[in-house]
Structure formats: structure tokens, C-alpha cells
Structure 1
Amino acid sequence: MINIQNLSLRAGIKPLLSGANLAIHPGQKIGLVGQNGAGKTTLFKAILGQVTIDGGNLSIPADWIIGYVEQESGELEQKVLQYVSFGDQLYADAIASRDAAEKAGDEDAIVRAYDQLDKLQGFAVENQARQLLYGLGFTENSFSQSIAEFSGGWQVRLKLARALMQRADLLLLDEPTNHLDIEAVSWLKQWLKNFPGAVLVISHDRDFLDQVVQGIAHIEQQKITYYNGNFAAFERQRNERLMQQQALHDKQKQQMQHLKTFISRFKAKASKAKQAQSRVKALERMEMVAAVQASNPFHFEFPEPKVQPDPMLQIEQLRFSYADRAIIEKADLVLRAGDRIGLVGVNGSGKTTLLKLLVGELKPEGGKIQVARGVKTGYFSQHQLDTLRPEWSPLQHLLALEDAPSDQQARDFLGGFGFSNEQCLQQVEPFSGGEKARLAMALIVFQQPNLIILDEPTNHLDMETRDALEMALQDYTGALLLVSHDKHLLASIADQYWWVHQGQVELFHGDLDEYLNEQLRRIRQQSEEEKKALISEDASAAKTTNKKQQRIQNAHQRKQLDALLKADLQLSRKLEKSLEKTQQELDRLHALLEDSSLYDAANKDKLTECLQAEAKCKQDLEDLEMQWLEIEEVIQQKKIDFEAKLAG
């Protein structure tokens, strides 16, 4: 097991952990929680040996493999299936040995390499990688694409898939659900339940933690407190402890007041001096028990809508396409007053496109969207934080709105979102993602919408702010349209679901669990088909009498297939180079944005220029990816034709 004893960690001069203890046993799955900045990610780095501990002991068994999500994607020209498969390092080494033997023409070495692959059950590795990719939302067509052809969010998924391929004794996952849709999150929960190794996961997703972990390690006041059970059990146990702590604190206050009164009354009397002195010492020895503070500093609510037209939106024969690919095709929908709708569908199915059409950011190619008079929409997009003016303070943002409040009213309002008087006057550019998300939400709440449209509102929010948002949305009486990978939030807010898939948008007749179970069945069906194909391939191989010659023949066939695919992929080389160039430019901009000096007041113009360039790069990358879809279909068909010819 991993044993953490009396551990001390710092971030610069800031102490994060002091005298912290935790044990991680084989196969144990633990959620690591605590406020932002408490030291969760730094603890991960300490386990990986990436930071030096300041005190205590962190012992890791010498033979344990620690799996984690890599920061870099490696060679961007590497193909998706190979990149994920090579997350299994032993398999990657065996493949490298095989390729070297084939290049040297050493038949004995080729056979030894295949023997090693047999021992590793290497025949199943690519199938497992395919299952991971299916589960995380990738399609068969994408397996032969290069990493560079995917946007940053999809590259994060690839890195997660590669991490899950590791033969790890302990898997470290830091917010693994942040770039996933709710379907992929549901699949990941099932995968982690069956993972035989230990898992230590940082997450603000309550339902994810409830389903995956059997223990919670809570970092608070530089200590780690371990609670048995899932997140719901942790909340129950912690509340009980806090109540006991409050009762003890109240009792102690009474005792201290009694001692102080006695000392005050009798310290001047000679007959009582000895007793008074003993009480002074007792007071000095008494250990203070910290008063329990309010568990959630955030509280806000959406005001009652002044008017609620019914219906609010009517959508007839709505059509929208991109790069000759139909995204929305002949959708007919009605949004009524008070509707609470969850929008579901895998990433790339068109959920965000539909929302942009509804709020007017995109124009439909056909059909119409009729918005009732009096509808006032509050829209929180995935890129809402980019709309904030970095040089403005939260107070300036609020006072710039229509029907702006007085200065004091604005400060009071922002206080409900966790902004102190001092923070109200600070520029927002150095704010964390969570602080910016809270400000963006505050601006929406203040405008008193009767229709709220939220696209992944919790991506940057910690647990406390998520809870406050959930409570506010539960009490909201207007209409609501929500996209979220947070199952707990979606299930507690929505009472009906619109399913976006294959260009269609239709009402899903069932609850969220039924929808997710249907998606999991689809993924399992794909996996079963892969397994059947693998069994059939093994059965054919077993009929060969000369195992050595068959392996060599298979090796040459694979080499021949790789060469043919490479020639086919040259048809799309022009776009591939454009993708690479755009991704490199985006990486360069990200590197610039990580430089703290860029956020100095003197570099304000440069920062604005970088942010604008970053936004353009992201859009260009998405445009290029969409154009690739059509080309990849042609490439995939050629691959299928080749394999059919080979099989015949």
C-alpha cells in the first residue's frame, strides 16, 4: 500500500499540508476533495515524485506502477488507436521489438517478439483500446486519424484513454469528467468500478464520486481526514462531526466564561488567590475548539420572472449544416413556460449548435424559430468566461448592465456570489476559472431572465458553488434548458429530455437513467462486435500448422496494409498540415498565456491580442476538423475495401 505519514507540503511559501496522514490500499478507490487551492493536485505531484515533500514520509511499494494522465500528447502525428494502445507500456515495448526485428529481417527475433505479445495477451490490447475510445465518444472513423487533427478537448479525452490503458496499481485522476459529455461520464463510472487497481480521484462531481469511490479523503486546514463510504456518506459523517464540534465549542465557551468570571471576582482576594491562580492555568491549558462556520459561503437565487409567455419558443422544420454535414435536420420543438429541459446527446451531436440557434448566435438554413414577445433569455455558454472584460472589476461589469443598481446594492449582490468588497474592485483577469464563472452567473441572475439556457455551467465550479447553483435552479420558476455532464445536477433540475442525435432533436421518453443505460448498451454492443471479430480471427489463426510462418505472414500483411493506408491518407495531407500548424499556433498561445507577466497592467494590450488570437485558433481548429469528416469517410471506405479483399 501507499502510506502517507505526517506529510508536509508547500506551494512556494504557502503551507498546503502539515502532519497529514493517509493510506491507500490495493484496489481501494478514494475520492480526494477539498476547497480549490487546498493542495489536492500538489499531493498528486508528490506521489508522482514531481515535487519535493517538506516533511514526513511518503512510501510507495517499489513494484507499484502509478498511472496518470500525461500533460503532453506526445507525437501529434501518431494515430489515435496506436497512441491509446501504447498507454500499455509493456505492449508498446513488445511492438517496438517486433518492428525492429522485422526491419532487420530476423525471423527468430520476430517469433520471440510475438511470444512476448502472447504472454501479454497483446492480441486483446487494441480491442481494449477500441472499447475505451468508443466509451469516451470516439467513432471508428477517428481511430486512424492523427492526434493533431483533434481539438484540445478531444485531445484531453485521448490522454485520459491512454492513461486508462496503463497496467497501473494506482491510477491518479484529476477532474477526469471535465471534458466529457454525460454519456462518456456514465461509461467511465462503469469502467472505474471494474478497474482492479487502486484509484485516487479529484472531482467536484457528486454523482461520479457516489458511484465510483468507497472512501473520501478530505483536505481541510492542512490535514487529511478519511471517511468510509461514498460522497453522500462523507457529507453525512462530516455534518455529524461539525454538529458535535459546534456543541463542544458552545460548551467550552460556557466553561471559559465561568473561569474568567471566577478569576475576575476572586483574584484580588487573598483567601481565593490560590484557587483563582489554578483557574488561570486551567484556562491557559484549555484547547480551543474552532467554531463551526457556515458550510457554504455562496447563496443566490433567480428572481421570480415578471412575465412568462406561453409558449416561449416554437421551432418548425429547423435545419442547420456545416461543411455539407447536417447538424440539425427538420427539428420541430415547442418550449413552454416553466419547462425544465435537459439537452442530451454525445459530444459533436449538435447540442451547443442548437442552443446557439435558439439565442441567435447562429442563423438557421431552413425553418424558423419563433420567440414569443416578452421572452428574456439568460445564456451561459461554454465560452462565457471569454466575454468578460479582463481589465474591468466585477463591480464595473454589474454597473454596466441595463437598469444597473446603486454602488452599494451591487456590492451586496456580488457578496452573495462570494465576492468580498476588495474583490469587487479588482480586475477580473487574474481571477480563477471558478471566480470568473461565478461572476458570469451573477450577471445572468441580475438581469432576471424568464428563460435560462445553460451550456456546461459547472466546468469551473467547485462543490460549494455547484450546490448553490443547484438550489437556485430548483427554486427557479421560469423555463430552463440545460446541457451538463454533471448527472446529479441534470437529474435534480430537468423533468424532461430532448435527445440530439444524427441530425434529429426529439423528446426522449424516459428518465436520465434510462437514457444513459441505453447509451451504455450501445457501447457494449460495439464492444461485443469487436470481441466476436477477435475470436473469429483467433480461430482462423489456430488452423495454421506452422505457427512461426503464420506470424511472419501476418507481420508482412500488417506492414503492407500500413503502407496502403499511408498512401491513402496522403489525399488529405493539405488539411492535415493546416491542422498541425493551427494546433502549434494554439499551443504557442497557451504557452504565452501561462506566463504570469502577461497579466501585468503594462501588457494589457498584448493579453487582449493573445486572447483574441486564441479564440480565432480554436474556431479555425473546429472548422478544419469538420472538413476532415467528409475526407475521413472516403479513407475509411478504402480501408474497408482493402480488408475485404485481403479476407477474400
Structure 2
Amino acid sequence: MLSINNLSYYIGGRALYENTSLHIKPKDKIGLVGLNGTGKSTLLKIIDGEYQPSSGEIQKAKDCTIGFLNQDLLSYQSEDSILEVALEAFKETLALQNEIDQVLKQMETDYSEKVIDRLAKLQDRFEANEGYTIKAKAEEILEGIGFKTADLTRPLKTFSGGWRMRVMLAKLLLEKPSLLMLDEPTNHLDLPSIQWVENYLKTYEGAVIVVSHDQEFLDNCIDVTVEVSNGTLTSYAGNYSFYRSEKKERMEIQQNAYENQQQMIKQTERFIERFRAKASKSNQVQSRVKALERLDKVNEVVDDNVSVNFKFKFSQKSGRDVVVLDHVSKAYGDLTILSNTTARIERGDKIALIGANGKGKSTLLRVIDGSERVNGRVTEGHNVIKSFYAQHQLEALNIDNEILQEMNQAGSGKTETELRNVLGCFLFTNEDVFKKIKVLSGGEKSRVALAKTLISEANFLLLDEPTNHLDMQSVNILIQALEQYEGTFITVSHDRHFIRGVANKIWYIENQQIKEYPGTYDEYVYWKSLQSSQPKEGEKHSKKDKKEEKRRYSNTEIDDARRDLKKKEKELATLEENILELEERKSRFEKEMADPDVFSDSAKLESINIEYAGVKNEIENLNDMWELLVEEISTLQETVS
């Protein structure tokens, strides 16, 4: 369908691409991956025709159409409603509709057979173009990516840039080009919308190229991964997880080949050096010199994966309760965000606050921070030191400072060496630390702001969309840093890979209440799937029945449920501690069994195996108890809410 042949593209004297090729088949779902600055977005613009290659060519089939969602569309504005803008995807069908309207008006005075025949032909073409369903299709896609029905008639210009980008995405999806190119589409989508787009792309009839830092998004909707690195395009026949695994194997093979070749080169060089002066060996020496000159050298592997050892220092630990929200309400005019809700953050909690946009997640972070006025009480615990990261922190950076200066002004008291080590963890090495803030990209500024947040010695972090503008390598660095963080944090994020890597509790806002799931993201997803598979209340009862069912709980019963809930929550906390201890024992047994000395001692190995099996069985039993407790807690929470 489209072929890139021997492509080269230069910026100044630097080769962004050099003599590289790629072939795109009609139904390929391609994920374009690589570090920031390697040219992923540039490649899409070359394919789209916005940039011209320095050499090489791009060939495409005559019937190949291209649709390109890029960040430049953020500035697009229109007086038309978002539904009308999305319907612009059906230009031919809308033109037919206009002709039909004109003919119908003509028929008010002209009933000739010629006019009637023209109307019939236009209506046949309109029906063949599925004209009667285009409005329903546009509404379905707009609502699928997060718009409410009431929003569809609002002018596009009344929406923020991120929401306008969603409209552009909807229009592209409705156009159904042969090749759909999406540059960071998840940047402006919430989690439900991301999942909707994933499902849509899986069954998309054309080819797709997507640039994204969202690893799970790529896993769920691509079947080919193309890596951009060192000016070349390398294809892997699978999704992102397959690419990671396959690349690791290729790197091992390449490294072995490199080491073998280096050993051969050293042996050859020693032979040349030893016998260079011997006339009897001159032919052999010259032969080996020429062989080295002709040698196609294997490059040493450069591993893009950075291992972070980030040491956090606290001047003091917080008390057990970090923040307590007691019957908190928050509204903006008629829009109620929180209504008489209660929640608690305890020391060691690593909370991911998830859900659709517009539910008030960022507002809740500000409420917890104390920077948002509310009705009710927000109580900060003993010795709590907060640090709040949000996108406005990027604007707060002093653009005239060098990176090292900016870090030094964070007031952490760290030495220059310590600050350089921290910056090294965030990919700023050597002379990079002397770059001015004003020359940094959005992703680099995000890394600086995050580094400042993490060196603040805070024991409680509030992180609002920390992975925005970060590439995959930077996201993985942040995950590693937060895994080593011994304090408490709450983060708002739509990046499931990030949430999965850092959270031990899930919060979400439902019916203006803060809801908590006391487990990891994977456990939450499984629990939600069980919830959604159960018959809904409306399928069994009328609205009147539901009201009567709600009324059957007396005040005494609700008070009893509250007491039971506190008791169950304590039991759950104790149970989780027991499971953690057993997991640590299990891990120790596994290490012992891998020890050659133990493995060679059959009696000792058998003894450890027995203990290991007992611990493993106990963990399974406690996990079953944990699931039952969580279900009981969920039921009690419904009773008292």
C-alpha cells in the first residue's frame, strides 16, 4: 500500500534518517517507538507530504488516502458545533444532502417527471453512501471518546485544545482513510476514552501508524512495532511487549557477536604486531591487515534501559494518618464535584486516582493539598511534608536558569555531586546539566520538574499526570524512582503501565463520593469485571423497588455496618501484612533453592521444598480470604453510603 525506500532526511548536518526503508501493508497496525528526538513525528510528516525527504522516495497506491492526527490541530477553531465539524468527514454525502434539499424545494412548484427522476437518483446515491446513518455514527464516536450528548451542539471554539483534538480524532475516524496516522493520541484522552479508541483501532479496516508512550495502548492495538534508532527503522512482528522481548534476544545475539569479533580482532592484531618484522611472515601479516580493513564491524550494544538507584532522604517520617477528609463537599456553582464524602490516606499508601475526565480528580488533589477551599474538614497529619507536581510546575521553572542551577534552588541542601547523580537518573548527564531551561523540550522540562519534586525531601507527594510529555524510557525511570520511595503519594494518571507499576490502592470518584479499592490496578480491573458481569439492579427491580430496598436500612443498621466496616478494614490491613511477610519468606526460599550448595544437598533441598510448599499454600488460602474480605467491605460500603 505504501513503501518508504532508501529514505534519508537531514536537519542541518545531522542525519535524522539515513538510507532506511519501510513497507506498510493494507491492514498493518504499526506502533512507532523510540526515544524522544529520534524523529518519530518527523517521519509521519514526511509520509503526509509536509516535509520532503533529502533523498529516497515514498511510493503509495493510487487509492491510498492518508489521515493524520497531529499536535498542530490543537489550534483549530470553528463556530460550528462539534457534531457539524465531525460530520465534515462525509463531504460527498453532505453535498448530496444539499442537492436533495434543493430538489425538494424545487418540487414545491415543479412536479415534472425530470425533477422526480433526479430526486430518486440522488436519494439512491445518498442511501448507498449510508447517508441516513452518518449522524448516528458521528454521535457514537464523539460520545465514545468522552463527549456528553449535550456537548454535541456546542461550538467547537468553546472547548479547550485537548477537547478540540478529540473532535479532530473523531472526524478522522469517520473519514476512514486507508492509512490512519496518530501522533500521541492518548495525551488528550481519559482512561475510558483510551480503551474505546483501542477497541475501535483493533477492528479498523485500514492501516494504522501510531506514535505513543502508552505501552498498554500499544500492546492492545498494534501488531507490528517499528523502532526508530540511529537513523534506521527496524521492524518487529508483534506488539510492544513482543518487541521488548525480541529486542532483548537480538541485543544478546549482537553483543555475543561483538565480543567474539573483538576477541578475533585482538588475536589478529597480536599476530600482526608479533610478526610484522619477520620477512618469512610478511605475506600472512599483510593478509591479516587487509582482512581487518575489510571487516564489517559489529557495533557494541547500547542498552536504552536505565536502571535507577534513587536514594530518598526524609528529615522526618509522617504520622500514621497523612490526610483525613471528613464529610467534604466541593462544588463550582451548580456543578457538584464532591458531596459529603470521607476518605483517609495513611503512611505508605501509594494511591492511583483514576477515572474519566470531568469527575474532579485534579480538584481532589488540590483539596488534599489544602489549596482548594471546601465545605467539611481536611486534616493534615503529624509531620507531613508535601510536594505537589502538576503541569503548571513546568511554567514555574526559571527559563533563564541552567538545569543544575534550577535544581540547586530547590532548597534540598544537596551537594552538586548529589544533584548531578539525581539528574543522571533523569537522563541529564555530563554537559547536559548546563543547558538552559528555555531550550529544553516539553519532556525534558517535565523531567526537571519531577526531579525537583523528588529531591524536596517531602514524605507525601501529590502527582498530577506526571507521565504527560514523557517518553517510555522516562516513564520507566519514574516508576523505578517511585518504587524506591518509602513515603506516601497519590497520583492522577491515565497511563495503565505507570499505574500498574506504582499503585497499591486505587481511588475513583463515583456519584460524587471517593471510592477506594484496597489493591493493585490488575486486581481492581478483575474486581470491576466481576462487578459488571453481575445483573444490574435495574434488570431485577423497578425504580420504586430500588427506593424501597434503599429505605430498608435503619439508622441502627447503618451504624452497625459502619462498625463492621472499620473492623473489616483492620482485618484486611492485618491480612495484607501477613501476605507480605509470607511473600518475603517465599522469595527467600526461592533464592535458597537456586543456591548451588543447597541444590546439591538433596536432604536440605527436600526440607526447603516442604517449607516452600507450605508457605505457598498458606499464601493461596490468605488470598482467598482477602478476596472474600474485599467483597464484604464493598457490600458494607454500599450500605453506609
TM range (shorter): 0.7 to 0.9
> Match of 1:118, SS?
helix
> Match of 2:357, SS?
coil
1:313 aligns with 2:315: no
Contact 2:318/2:382 (CA < 8 Å) preserved in 1?
no
> Match of 2:426, SS?
coil
1:338 aligns with 2:348: yes
Q: 2:88 aligns with which of 62, 86, 89?
A: 86
Equivalent residue for 2:32? Answer: 32
Q: What is the CA-CA distance between 1:391 and the residue it aligns to? A: 1.2
1:77 aligns with 2:88: no
Contact 1:308/1:337 (CA < 8 Å) preserved in 2?
yes
Map residues 229-248 of structure 1 onto 2, 5 A cutoff. 229-248=238-257
Contact 2:226/2:233 (CA < 8 Å) preserved in 1?
yes
Equivalent residue for 1:128? Answer: 137
Q: Determine the C-alpha separation between the residues in 2 that align with 1:454 and 1:75.
A: 31
Q: 2:362 aligns with which of 352, 365, 376?
A: 352
Equivalent residue for 1:255? Answer: 264
1:444 aligns with 2:453: yes
Q: 1:294 aligns with which of 291, 298, 303?
A: 303
Equivalent residue for 1:536? Answer: none
Equivalent residue for 2:525? Answer: 513
Contact 1:7/1:21 (CA < 8 Å) preserved in 2?
yes
Q: Determine the C-alpha separation between the residues in 1 that align with 2:393 and 2:98.
A: 45
* Number of residue pairs aligned between Structure 1 and Structure 2: 521
Provide, for residues 477-516 of structure 1, a one-character-per-residue CA deviation record: whole Å limited to 9, x for no partner: 3222121111111123223222113422222488442587
Q: What is the CA-CA distance between 1:104 and the residue it aligns to? A: 6.2
Equivalent residue for 2:219? Answer: 210
Q: Determine the C-alpha separation between the residues in 2 that align with 1:11 and 1:298.
A: 31
**208-217 or 305-314, which moves further after superposition?**
305-314
Contact 1:500/1:506 (CA < 8 Å) preserved in 2?
yes
1:277 aligns with 2:289: no
> Match of 1:499, SS?
strand
Q: What is the CA-CA distance between 1:475 and the residue it aligns to? A: 2.9
Q: Determine the C-alpha separation between the residues in 2 that align with 1:434 and 1:142.
A: 32
**269-278 or 82-91, which moves further after superposition?**
82-91
Provide, for residues 363-407 of structure 1, a one-character-per-residue CA deviation record: whole Å limited to 9, x for no partner: 21x101100121122221133211211111111122112242223
Q: Determine the C-alpha separation between the residues in 1 that align with 2:303 and 2:171.
A: 41
Identity %: 33
Q: Determine the C-alpha separation between the residues in 2 that align with 1:520 and 1:87.
A: 35
Q: Determine the C-alpha separation between the residues in 2 that align with 1:5 and 1:48.
A: 15
1:498 aligns with 2:510: no
Q: What is the CA-CA distance between 1:286 and the residue it aligns to? A: 1.3
Q: What is the CA-CA distance between 1:173 and the residue it aligns to? A: 0.6
* Structure 1: unaligned runs, 5 residues or longer: 522-648
Q: Determine the C-alpha separation between the residues in 2 that align with 1:93 and 1:508.
A: 52
Provide, for residues 541-598 of structure 1, a one-character-per-residue CA deviation record: whole Å limited to 9, x for no partner: xxxxxxxxxxxxxxxxxxxxxxxxxxxxxxxxxxxxxxxxxxxxxxxxxxxxxxxxxx
Q: What is the CA-CA distance between 1:149 and the residue it aligns to? A: 0.8
Equivalent residue for 1:646? Answer: none
* 1:517–1:112 distance in 2 versus 1, CA, 3 Å: farther
Q: What is the CA-CA distance between 1:304 and the residue it aligns to? A: 5.8
Q: What is the CA-CA distance between 1:295 and the residue it aligns to? A: 2.1
Q: Determine the C-alpha separation between the residues in 1 that align with 2:8 and 2:482.
A: 40
Q: Determine the C-alpha separation between the residues in 1 that align with 2:504 and 2:377.
A: 26
> Match of 1:287, SS?
coil
* Structure 2: unaligned runs, 5 residues or longer: 534-641
Equivalent residue for 1:588? Answer: none
Q: What is the CA-CA distance between 1:143 and the residue it aligns to? A: 0.5
Q: Determine the C-alpha separation between the residues in 2 that align with 1:223 and 1:349.
A: 43
Q: What is the CA-CA distance between 1:98 and the residue it aligns to? A: 3.9
Equivalent residue for 2:10? Answer: 10
Contact 1:302/1:473 (CA < 8 Å) preserved in 2?
no
Contact 2:318/2:385 (CA < 8 Å) preserved in 1?
no
Q: 2:396 aligns with which of 379, 384, 387?
A: 387
Q: Determine the C-alpha separation between the residues in 2 that align with 1:370 and 1:251.
A: 64
Equivalent residue for 2:51? Answer: 51
Contact 2:67/2:172 (CA < 8 Å) preserved in 1?
yes
> Match of 1:268, SS?
coil
Q: Determine the C-alpha separation between the residues in 1 that align with 2:531 and 2:97.
A: 33
Bigger CA radius of gyration: 2
Contact 1:91/1:117 (CA < 8 Å) preserved in 2?
yes
Equivalent residue for 1:146? Answer: 155
Q: Determine the C-alpha separation between the residues in 2 that align with 1:152 and 1:469.
A: 27
Equivalent residue for 2:487? Answer: 478
* 1:46–1:512 distance in 2 versus 1, CA, 3 Å: farther
Q: Determine the C-alpha separation between the residues in 1 that align with 2:369 and 2:219.
A: 35
Equivalent residue for 1:621? Answer: none
Q: Determine the C-alpha separation between the residues in 1 that align with 2:287 and 2:304.
A: 37
* 1:426–1:54 distance in 2 versus 1, CA, 3 Å: closer
**Corresponding letter in the other structure for 2:17:** L
* 1:515–1:397 distance in 2 versus 1, CA, 3 Å: farther
**Corresponding letter in the other structure for 1:322:** Y
Q: Determine the C-alpha separation between the residues in 1 that align with 2:60 and 2:354.
A: 42
* 1:340–1:174 distance in 2 versus 1, CA, 3 Å: same
Equivalent residue for 1:369? Answer: 378
Q: Determine the C-alpha separation between the residues in 2 that align with 1:514 and 1:288.
A: 50
**Corresponding letter in the other structure for 1:489:** F
**Corresponding letter in the other structure for 1:77:** E
More relative contact order in 1 or in 2 (CA 8 Å, sep 6+)? 1
Equivalent residue for 1:422? Answer: 431
> Match of 2:17, SS?
strand
Equivalent residue for 1:406? Answer: 415
Q: Determine the C-alpha separation between the residues in 2 that align with 1:371 and 1:186.
A: 36
Q: Determine the C-alpha separation between the residues in 2 that align with 1:465 and 1:517.
A: 31
Contact 2:517/2:524 (CA < 8 Å) preserved in 1?
no
Q: What is the CA-CA distance between 1:94 and the residue it aligns to? A: 3.0
> Match of 1:158, SS?
helix
Equivalent residue for 2:614? Answer: none
> Match of 2:438, SS?
coil
Q: Determine the C-alpha separation between the residues in 1 that align with 2:500 and 2:22.
A: 33
Q: 2:184 aligns with which of 165, 175, 180?
A: 175
Q: What is the CA-CA distance between 1:348 and the residue it aligns to? A: 1.1
> Match of 1:178, SS?
helix
* 1:452–1:15 distance in 2 versus 1, CA, 3 Å: same
Equivalent residue for 1:186? Answer: 195
Q: What is the CA-CA distance between 1:159 and the residue it aligns to? A: 1.1
Q: What is the CA-CA distance between 1:204 and the residue it aligns to? A: 1.1
Equivalent residue for 2:616? Answer: none
> Match of 1:5, SS?
strand
Q: What is the CA-CA distance between 1:461 and the residue it aligns to? A: 0.5
Q: Determine the C-alpha separation between the residues in 1 that align with 2:224 and 2:261.
A: 32
**393-402 or 28-37, which moves further after superposition?**
393-402
Q: Determine the C-alpha separation between the residues in 2 that align with 1:519 and 1:54.
A: 56
Name the Cα RMSD after superposition: 2.4
**184-193 or 104-113, which moves further after superposition?**
104-113
What's the TM-score once normalised by structure 1's chain length? Answer: 0.76
Q: Determine the C-alpha separation between the residues in 2 that align with 1:315 and 1:249.
A: 59
* 1:161–1:372 distance in 2 versus 1, CA, 3 Å: same
* 1:153–1:400 distance in 2 versus 1, CA, 3 Å: same
Q: Determine the C-alpha separation between the residues in 2 that align with 1:376 and 1:406.
A: 21
